[in-house]
Amino acid sequence: MKEYEFTLKFSLPYPSQDPDSYIDRLAEEGCEDAVVGVGRKGRISLQFDREANDAFAAILSALKDVRRAIPDARFIGSEPDLVGLSDIAEIMGFSRQNMRKIMLKDKDRFPPPIYDGNPSLWHLSSLLTWLKEENGYPVDESLIELSRGTMYLNIVNEAASLDSSTSSELSSVLA
């Protein structure tokens, strides 16, 4: 079994209720391996260090545990997922300037950002996979696996907010 470190964020069902009131229930339902953050009113963030056979199992079991503890909580997002150049540089042990050089040197094959702005954002799993497969950089497979799992979770969560006719229409155009 491996240990996976990731964060799940939720909006609480009763924003005026003290988020500390959920901490004991979270521990009872299996979230004793999480550091609970309650800094923002109406929100709760759980940073897990969870052992599992694979990253997806770790993420899924944590999500189920939180759902049992706070059934009406609304999932907001998970990390690690979206990163800027500075973030990926830090993860890889590069300077930001070096990461930018890598991007510009191979800009035709560099993964496109999902948000092209200031700063631009990428899915971490896309960048890690590209750095490993296209450039031969040593990348922790567990981090690729974990960031892919959190990316999938975030995408599915966002897609769930679409009505079915819009989703079908967009899928047919994009396919």
Q: Is residue 130 part of a domain?
A: yes
Average pLDDT (50-75) is: 97
Q: Dump pLDDT digits (tens) for 3-36.
A: 999 999 999 988 887 778 888 999 999 999 999 9
33 and 44 in a single domain? The answer is yes
Contact 89, 45 (CB under 8 A): no
Which of 43, 58, 79 lies at the terminal end of a domain, its last residue?
A: 79
What domain range includes position 18?
2-79
DSSP 121: B
Q: How far is CA 139 from CA 21, 31, 88, 107, 172, in A?
A: 40, 29, 11, 20, 35
Q: Is residue 75 part of a domain?
A: yes
92 and 129 in a single domain? The answer is yes
12 and 71 in a single domain? The answer is yes
**Sign of the CA dihedral 132, 136, 138, 142?**
positive
Q: Is residue 154 part of a domain?
A: no
Average pLDDT (42-62) is: 96
Contact 154, 121 (CB under 8 A): no
**Sign of the CA dihedral 116, 77, 164, 60?**
positive
Q: Dump pLDDT digits (tens) for 107-161.
A: 899 999 999 999 999 999 999 999 999 889 999 999 999 999 999 999 999 988 8
Q: Is residue 172 part of a domain?
A: no
CATH number, domain of 60, equals: 3.30.70.3400
Which of 30, 60, 79 lies at the terminal end of a domain, its last residue?
A: 79
pLDDT at 51: 97
